[in-house]
Structure 1
Amino acid sequence: MVGPPGAGKGTQAQILASELSIPQVSTGDIFRANVGGGTELGQQAKAYMDRGDLVPDEVTNAMVADRLGQDDARAGFLLDGFPRNVAQARALDGILEDLGQRLDVVLELVVETEEVVTRLSGRRSCRSCNHVQHVIFDPPRTPGVCDNCGGELVQREDDQEETIRHRLRVYEEQTAPLVDFYRERGLLVSIQATGSVADVTARALAAVPTGERG
C-alpha cells in the first residue's frame, strides 16, 4: 500500500488485513519494536524518525526481511509503509524471491496535499492518556482539554504544518516514483482516499484480486 502521509494507509491496512485474514506488516510497528527494544537498528532509525526523515534503506530492509520471515507472514501479508522508494522495491523483490512469495497488487491511496495538511495538523494528543482528537473533525468539548481524561491536548512535533509539508516533499521526491515502477509492472491500482473509512475500504477490497481474499 502506497500513498502520502495522512492518506489513511495504517487505518486501511489494519481493516484490509483483517478482512483478508493476513497480518498487517507495518514498518512503523517494526521501527517502534526495534526502538523500544533498544536494538542497534532501532537506535539508528530513531534519529531519522525524530527529524521526520525516512530511515535509510539498509536499516529498513533488514528490519522488513526479518519480519517477513516470521511464521505468521508465510501465508501472505499486507505491507504498510514499505517499500518507500524504488531502491527498496528492488530490495523487496530479492526478499520475496528468497521467501518464495510475490506481490499480488499495489494499492495507491490518492489524496490532495491540502487535505493531508488539514488532517494531520489538526490532530491533538493528550499528554496524560495519549488520546487523539482533531480540532475540526473531533473537537474537544473544552479547547485544549482531553475529552477522555481531562488532560492537556498538545500538537505533536511531527503534526506541525512545517514538518508535515517537509514529509510530503520527501514523499514526492523519494516515494512517488514507486507509482510508475509498479504501474509498469501492471500491479498498481489507484483509489481515492477521501470520504468515509468504509467507502475507502470498499474501494480497496474491490481492487484486491478475488483469489487473494480471505
Structure 2
Amino acid sequence: MENPVIIIGSATGLGIVALDIFQSNQVIVYCFLDDNKELHGKEVHEISVMGSTDDDGYLKLIGKKCEAFIATDDTKFHKHLTEMLNERRKMMPVNAIHNRATISGMASIGHGNLISSNVIINTGAKVGNHCILHAGAIVDYQAQVGDFVQIGAGSIINSNVNLANDVFVGSGVTIVSGIKVGKGARIGAGSVVIEDVKAGATVFGNPAKAIGK
C-alpha cells in the first residue's frame, strides 16, 4: 500500500489493533479520527488524533493522498461510517491484514476487513466486506462469511459453514462443518454449534442452544 491510512472510528480498542496491523506491514498511519473530543490533539502510540469521524478537513484527503480504514466493533456505527465514506468520498475502506495472517491464494476476501495475527483463511473460503476476524480465528475451506461479521479470537469456522451478514461469533467458538447461521445471529463464547442457527437468534453452550426466549 503506497498511501498512508487514516483510521476512522476509534483511536483506542480496535483502532490500536488496526494500527498494529498496518505497522506490521510498514504502512504509515496518517492519523486517527475519533468522536471522543477528549482525545483530539493528543497522540495514541505516537499517532495524532486529529478530529472527529465526520471532519471534512481530513476526510477530503481520502482517495487523493490517503486511504481509509474503519475501526469499530459497533456494527451500527460501522455501517454508518461506511455509508458516509461511500457517499462523501466514493471510496471503500482498505483491508487491515496482519503480516502473520495466512490467507490461501484460492480464498477470496472483500473490502474493509480487519484480519488479526495468526488468522487462517483456507482454500476456497470466502470472506465478505467489513468483517472483524480476531487473533487465531480459522475460516476453513469453502466456508462462507457474509458482510459485517465478527469472529472472536481462537474460533473455528469449519468447512462449508455459512455465516450470513451481521453474525457475531464469540471467542473460542467451534462451528462444525456444514452449519448455516442466519443473519444477525449471536453465538456466545466457547460454544460448540452442531445445528443451524436461525436469523436473529442468540445461542450458547456445548452443544449450543437458543437463549433469551
TM-score over 0.5 for the pair: no
TM-score by length of 1: 0.30
TM-score by length of 2: 0.30
Q: As a proportion of its length, which structure holds more strand?
A: 2
Q: As a proportion of its length, which structure holds more helix?
A: 1
